[in-house]
Chain A
Amino acid sequence: MSDEYKMTATTTAPVIEPGHTFASVTDKISSIVLTRPASNGWFLGFGIAFLATMMLLYAIGYLFIRGVGIWGITIPIGWGFAIVNFVWWIGIGHAGTLISAILLLLRQSWRNSINRFAEAMTLFAVSCAGLFPLLHVGRPWLAYWLFPYPSTMGVWPQFRSPLMWDVFAVSTYATISLLFWFMGLIPDFGTLRDRATNPWIRLVYGMLAMGWRGSARHWHRYETAYLLLAGLATPLVLSVHTVVSFDFAVGIVPGWHTTIFPPYFVAGAIYSGFAMVLMLAIPIRKIYGLEDFITSRHLQNSAKVMLATGLIVAYGYGIEAFMGWYSGESYDAFLLWNRLHGPYAPWYWSLLACNIFIPQLLWIRKLRTSPLALFLISFVILIGMWLERFIIVVVSLSRDFLNSSWGQYYPTRWDWMTYFGTIGMFLAAMFLFCRLLPMISIFEMRTLLPQAEGKAAEAAE
């Protein structure tokens, strides 16, 4: 028994490399924000992302002048890129909440090194996601009509519609993600306040820390609140993508009207979210020298989560195909045939390659431990998950019940500019985040050290 334990202890990479102290962890993470100068590479990366954000603003500006007719959406395909991108972005955000809330409840302490930037990723991804339905309504300046407020028109929202549920689910999700992120930052703001030498910087972090002084009573309430927030965020994150899938599943269009949608959407969300976490973590740990904190263990665990959720997604595709055959429903059978052989067949086959076949490489241990391989596989998964939403939205709408109402969808340059523009906005926000806030939770990293347990208190000296 003890031999077995020893064996696993030596073969599993540590969550934090040995030799660190409370002071070294604090200095390492806070110095990135406080003392490390911004490199040319940072300016180049931020500059490109910023230009892409400007492209987004240009595309949105033109949209406001001309209306949604500049996009490729027509009848029958009225949802197009806006909804594809909305679902893609919101799905990416889900991994952040999974890491910060669900893994906290499951006492997976390895999450402590990646939760902060995963939560930042969630926040920025949800901001990008929120843009799309807002723009898609056509008259964004009237979007507040979605909220129940006493208007002179005497009209109130129709709460039986999944689209209303979506408004509440996504705005609650954005709010709770922000609170959770901010709450985790409070003690670290205190650390930055105490480390900063520039009085202005100290003032800013001091105001954000709100006088946090690490009192035992404060920590007691803090931990209760943090745990409760995690407990609330856990069902919330599962509900958000469930509600997003209801937008489809409550409709009667073949390809949408299935009960497998909620779990399959949630699994797909976590799948793409972990892919994004890896695509961000791998360069960040390399550039900022954080390999001690974001170790091979984190990369491998993320890869395993992707493998598991990827298989759930594959099961979802399988069930969709099976039901197309088994139901004997001619429209469902046609949908399957159309996906495999219709005008969008290359997209569907690419989807199967990106989401099911290529990620099976993650079974190979050598690839799970190679950052480059993980980076590339994650990229493929992100493309695959985008294709999945494209197939769901566009292919289902393009061939519905009546041949007379069939159509094709051609995205315009404005569609692509808006899509790539949001990627730019997301990356620009991530670049700023890396420079302005501690991207790894400092106080939670301290709890991972052996000295924090008290057992090895002497060993620290």
Chain B
Amino acid sequence: MKRDPIYGIMAEFDTPTALLEAARRTYQAGYKKIDAYSPFPIEGLAEEIGFEHNAVALVVLICGIIGACTGYLLQYWCDAVTYPLNIGGRPYNSWPSFIVITFELTILFGGISALLGMLALNGLPMPYHPVFNVPRFSSASKDRFFLIVFSSDKQYDASATRRFLEGLQPRSISEVPS
């Protein structure tokens, strides 16, 4: 499959409010394959580009439950099945004593899955990405706000899209080579 030599068109803005406004108008104009970049999380920006829900919480919930089951079953199997010891006449399956480690493993599994799940869903680590080909993009981690329309969008048209983005009064516009 031949790759499009152009990955998308990128517009640069000065303030978070300008980016929010631009993202809203671009999405409403029918562009669906777009993304926005900012040096810090901006409330409501993801919703403006049509991204409402993420799966991180579900991943953490599932892994937390797996952690809890692992914790309890591990202790049950060790102390009640394979190596039962009589400690002060307590029952082999002395569940109150098993709560602490069950809790700790819930947290451990949930916490690890929060970081790894976030990275995996974000597709990180990603050593190469076309947006870094734009020299101005280095300020996306400092004080500038960027909006991109991907060339894979159905409505994408090199000159029309560019004209549309110019209408949003950005600071600059760049073509992103892939």
Residues of A with Cβ closer than 8 Å to B? 21-23, 26, 148, 154-160, 164-165, 168-169, 172, 175-176, 179-180, 182-183, 187, 190-191, 193-195, 207, 210-225, 228-229, 232-233, 235-236, 239, 243, 246, 443-444, 446-447, 451-452, 454, 457, 460
Contacts and interface: CB of A to CB of B under 8 A. Distances in A.
Interface stretch (B102-110, B156-164, B165-173): B102-110
Contacts of A175: 108, 111-112
B38 A216 contact: yes
Contact of B40 (A215, A217, A444, A457): A444
Contacts of B143: 21-23, 26
A180 to B, nearest CB: 8
A453 to B, nearest CB: 8
Contacts of B119: 210
A228 B101 contact: no
A191 B124 CA distance: 16
B87 A160 contact: yes
Contacts of A232: 60, 64, 107, 110-111, 114
Nearest to B92: A160
A454 B20 contact: yes
Contact of B85 (A158, A179, A212, A451): A158
Q: Which of B60, B94, B107, B137 has the most CB of A within 10 A?
A: B107
B35 A215 contact: yes
Interface in B14-69: 15-18, 20, 23, 35-42, 45-46, 48-49, 51, 54, 56-57, 60, 64
A294 B64 CA distance: 36
Contacts of B41: 219-220, 222-223, 443, 447
Contacts of B42: 216, 219, 452
Given A159-B101, A229-B114, A220 B17 contact: no
A210 B37 contact: no
A154 B141 contact: no
Nearest to A455: B17
Given A210-B124, A214-B140, A216-B46, 5 more contacts: A148-B74, A172-B108, A176-B108, A211-B128, A217-B51
Nearest to B59: A225
Nearest to A220: B46
Contacts of A176: 107-108, 111
B104 A239 contact: yes
B175 interface: no
Contacts of A187: 39-40, 141
8 contacts: A156-B83, A194-B139, A214-B141, A219-B41, A221-B54, A221-B118, A235-B103, A236-B104
B6 interface: no
B115 A216 contact: no
Contact of A194 (B17, B56, B75, B141): B141
Interface in B108-140: 108, 110-112, 114-115, 117-119, 121-122, 124-129, 131-132, 137-140
